Amino acid sequence: MPAATVPAIRFRRLLLTGAAGGLGREMRGRLRAHCETLRVSDCAPLDAASDGEETAVVGLEDAAAVAELLKDVDAVIHLGAVSVEQPWEAILPANIIGAYNLYEAARRNGVKRILFASSNHVTGFYRQDQVIDSRDPVRPDGLYGLSKAFGENLAQLYWDRHGIETVSVRIGSAFTEPKDRRMLATWMSYDDTERLFVAALTAPVVGHTVIYGMSDNATTWWDNRHARHVGYRPQDSSEQFRAAVEARQPVLDPSDPAVVFQGGVFVRTGPFE
């Protein structure tokens, strides 16, 4: 059952990229209610289209295919990208060239609103005892975070220059439940994710807004006060999982960079040998 009790149809056609990924599969089912037609894409195989759906297997590095993909679309939820730390050879085509292709396709097709799935790893090198907001300078924790910072700046450019609005959501940890102690701070439930995505797509005016994607967790490192115009009010909290998580995972070693910094293990893993 969808979390938001909004009128069923807001958009004629929504495009969801990255629909074969973990979050993409979850959102595919939920976004169906918010449009007449849901177009879903991925570079990987997709489940067959159900009623009211269209599917397309498209690599984001293929500019012509992406241009085609955005035809007759009202708005885009752009989850498609490499979503973990990977070598440059993987990040570059999907997350940098792919993001450019997507915004160029939006410009050429007259798409005026995009939800860009950014990441908390854009600011992963702030410490876990710092509370930051969306205007603090970025401090990416790896090539993945770096590529997401690129995407946010691209969104800013296409807003300032071409009037395409974007909400860049710096997603924390969108899973069924928090898997470890770090996620007590970063977790965003699927219901809250849907709430945030719908708010971002339907808020009357967003320009380019950056917002952290998290539930109403007791512990947080992120202050969303500059984005309250989006109308996102999380209703879930990681707190219900705290006892179980703390019982399951040993006390953390505060000398481990993965504990000190907000990016967690991303700050010490990845392609740098």
> 109 to 138, contacts with a second copy by CB under 8 A?
112, 125, 127-131, 135-138
* Contact flag: residue 93 with a second copy (CB under 8 A): no
The span from the CA of 199 to the CA of 203, in Å, is 6
Q: Give catalytic status of residue 144 as yes or no.
A: yes
- Answer yes or no whether residue 243 interacts with a second copy by CB under 8 A: yes
Max Cα-Cα span within the chain:
53
Over the range 113-150, which residues count as b (16 or more CB within 10 Å of their CB) and which as e? bbbbbbbbbbbbbbebeeebebeeebbbbbbbbbbbbb
Under the criterion CB under 8 A, does residue 67 sit at the interface with a second copy? Answer: no
Site membership for a second copy, residue 264 (CB under 8 A): no
Query: Are 200 and 207 in contact, with CB atoms under 8 Å apart?
Result: no
CB 34 within 8 A of CB 8: yes
Task: Catalytic residue, from 144, 158, 190, 232: name it.
Answer: 144
Q: Give the one residue of 44, 57, 64, 218 binding a second copy; rule: CB under 8 A.
A: 218
Of 47 and 160, nearer to a second copy (C-beta) is: 160
Within a 10 A sphere around the Cβ of 83, how many other Cβ atoms?
A: 20
96 binds a second copy (CB under 8 A): yes
Q: Does 87 bind a second copy (CB under 8 A)?
A: no
Q: Does 259 bind a second copy (CB under 8 A)?
A: yes
Could you tell me the smallest distance in angstroms from the CB atom of residue 260 to a second copy?
Answer: 6
Q: How far is the CB of 157 from a second copy (least distance, A)?
A: 5
Whole-number Å distance between alpha carbons of 87 and 84: 10
Among 16, 111, 115, 150, binds a second copy (CB under 8 A): 150
Of residues 27 through 66, those in contact with a second copy by CB under 8 A are none
Q: Which of 85, 141, 192, 236 binds a second copy (CB under 8 A)?
A: 141
Q: Are strands 187-188 and 75-78 parallel, antiparallel or unpaired?
A: unpaired
Does residue 1 bind a second copy (CB under 8 A)?
no
Report the residue from 18, 142, 172, 178 that binds a second copy according to the rule CB under 8 A.
142
Q: Does 225 bind a second copy (CB under 8 A)?
A: yes
229 sits near a second copy (criterion: CB under 8 A):
yes
Count residues binding a second copy (CB under 8 A).
77
Active site residues: 144
